[in-house]
Amino acid sequence: MPLNPNDIRLRLAEAGRDRGDHDLNPGIAPTDRMRAAAVLVPLVARPAGTTVLLTRRTEHLHHHAGQISFPGGRIEEADPSPEDAALRETEEEIGLPRRHIELVGRLGLYRTRTGFEITPVVGWLTPPFDLSPDRFEVAEVFEVPLSFVADPRNHERHSREWQGVVRHFYVLPYGGYYIWGATAGMLVNLAERLNP
């Protein structure tokens, strides 16, 4: 999938619809009191093709231990915008300074059943750059080909019973990685926006 920052900008310029865990679970409505968060969806310009940079959280964390995620977190009062929050969190989590990131747009908001309203901010990264992950939070940083993410055949729908209710969610299994939940939902949204 040969893309450049201008291609991404054009495809993200059209208004995208907001998404969330409720897309596959119509009975689950987002709560009235949502907490604002932002993540960076980092697209890396590699010679062999564009990739998506992801992290695997450490196993000892209280929330989402071991899960695959984008760099990001809560929007703090000191953050002027979701973009600033995503860039701040990215630098804190993986040591990537904002000067290496060209912001190219946003995906629609993603609302989780746990009460987060996430703004996915898409950034373009041109190597070389060095990463210095926070070893308390981040066990691993890895990349997935954007061509894999963009292929709808890789968007699996799984289900699991939780608190007596069957929940449905997206999974993008890649190699030994099990990408699911909100991260997978945002990747599906990205794929829909990038595919003509």
In this predicted model, what pLDDT tens digit does every residue of 90-134 receive, in sequence order?
Answer: 999 999 999 999 999 999 999 887 788 999 999 999 999 999 999
- Tell me the β-bridge partners of 105: 122
Residue ranges covered by each domain of the chain: 5-146
Q: Which range is least confidently modeled, 14-28, 149-163, 170-184?
A: 14-28
13-51: per-residue pLDDT in tens?
Answer: 876 777 777 677 676 666 678 899 999 999 999 999 999
Q: Do the strands 35-46 and 72-74 form a parallel or antiparallel pair, or are they unpaired?
A: antiparallel
DSSP-assigned beta bridge partners for residue 159: 168
For domain 5-146, the question of CATH label 3.40.1280.10 is answered with: no
The answer, yes or no, to whether residue 81 has pLDDT greater than 80, is yes
Rounded CA separation 174/158 (Å)? 15
